[in-house]
Structure 1
Amino acid sequence: MKIITSNPYNKTHWKNRVRDPITQQIVEEGVPFTESRANNFEEGIYNAYMYIMDLQNELVRTQIQLAAIGRAPGNAGAITDTLDGSSINLVRQTAIADIIREVAAGTTVLPVDSIAGFEVGTEVTILDGTNYEVKAIQSINEADKTITVSALQKLFSKGAKVAESSLFMDVATKTLKYGTWGTFTVSVSEVV
């Protein structure tokens, strides 16, 4: 969004046509209402609304950024903004690992096949074919390839995924929510 340092609107200083009350002679011509002056109104109103829309978009982006603070250190690419087609820190989330053995409810240490890309403080989603939970990483043990989180509420089978949480802004409820997980089929057609 462009910073405006002075008002770009070309303001008209209006004066009424003044007539002598006795002779009805024009004493002061005044400013005539013309097509160009009316279009100046329209252009000014249009530009004001465009600026308001830019401010609203900037406000939503700021809300997303503020909601993301603490979810991923330095934002670590855990948030993207596609609300208006532009992006903020558009980074593909690549931190993903498999749990190498079944973990029971109450478990806090997750044995994984890789810790690459994970950071302490980042929120991760743990999911298998049945369950999922969202947890913040409390610590990472590189030697043992383990990730420590708060106690799990559910059992997760061997092969369950641990991945950075996907987030999106629900504009209707003005809240940051977790994205959905699933399998998607995409087809591409070439139009000639």
Structure 2
Amino acid sequence: MRPDPGTVLHFSEDPTIRTFAPHVARTAQVPDPWVWAVDGENVPSYWFPRQCPRAMAWVGPQTTAVDADRLLGPGARRVHVIEYGWLEAFRRVELWAYAFDAADFVPHGTPPSAMVADHRVTPLGPPRPVGDLVAAHADAGIQLRVVTELWSWWEAVIASSLRFSGIRLRNARPRVGPASVTGRPR
């Protein structure tokens, strides 16, 4: 599921939303109210149940071959990792994609990881079902991995030359082991 040219997408488990009003997300790091959406490059990061913690990494222009082979695996370009505890929700979720006119949104973040609108927006039509999320990952050439805990892989990724994103990590199982990447006890 990718946006059509000139559009951006918002993913939701609710197929009944008629209009989207700017709001400050509970977990927001800035106080500005926005409507959130993503462009074609960033949509795979949202092929998950909303609350599912996920760690994602991919090859970028600065990525070394050693880091790519060690953390993604030979030949892999992008990997998404979830915990076993979220596998059933991942398989069962009914996810919907709302399309919006991209002209209503501006890039957010450096590099941009989302698109935001500071005003009320109406979808261009009814939401489309995303369908099988495993198939969406496979069709996009993204490896989907299921692990006992995210933190060991995540900490290796953020210390590497890979591009990465972690979403809803606060919902992940607690860290295990003697120390974090900062050297402080967990």
- Asked if Structure 1 and Structure 2 have the same fold, meaning a TM-score greater than 0.5 normalized by the shorter chain, the answer is no
Which is greater in Rg? Answer: 1
TM-score, structure 2 as length reference: 0.22
Identify the structure with bigger relative contact order (alpha carbons < 8 Å, sequence gap 6+): 2
